[in-house]
Amino acid sequence: SYELTQPPSVSVSPGQTARITCSGDTLPKQYVCWYQQKPGQAPVVVMDKDTERPSGIPERFSGSSSGRTVTLTISGVQPEDEAEYYCQSSDSGGRYPVFGGGTKLSVL
């Protein structure tokens, strides 16, 4: 089955920049959607189609894509950004959604 690979954890201090990566063989030709999930809550989209920030999402969230890797960048991390982040794309045939394994962002 197709897989999207994320680092299990990323740790940063408040005000620093956090970069969370998502890698997959078909990402050069497929978009990625990023979700933020805080404990006890449903996920929320924080980045659409690699680089499109939905309305209501702070400007410190940005996205980029390079080859097999898509990156969610949070500049000037705030304590409230501590959460689990999931990338999601489509399978290698583009037939159904696939989630990455998630990255726990810790704000120390």
Binding residues vs other proteins (CB under 8 A): 1, 26, 29-31, 33, 35, 37, 42-45, 48-49, 54, 86, 88-90, 93-102
Nearest-CA neighbor of 87 among 50, 52, 55, 53?
50
Shortest distance in whole angstroms from residue 18 CB to other proteins:
19
Q: Determine the Cα–Cα distance for residues 79 and 69; give it in Å rounded to an integer.
A: 26
HSE toward the beta carbon, residue 38, CA cutoff 13 A:
7
Shortest distance in whole angstroms from residue 102 CB to other proteins:
5
The answer to whether residues 18 and 10 touch, using CB atoms and an 8 Å cutoff, is: yes
Shortest distance in whole angstroms from residue 51 CB to other proteins:
13
The smaller minimum CB distance to other proteins, of residues 3 and 75, is found at 3
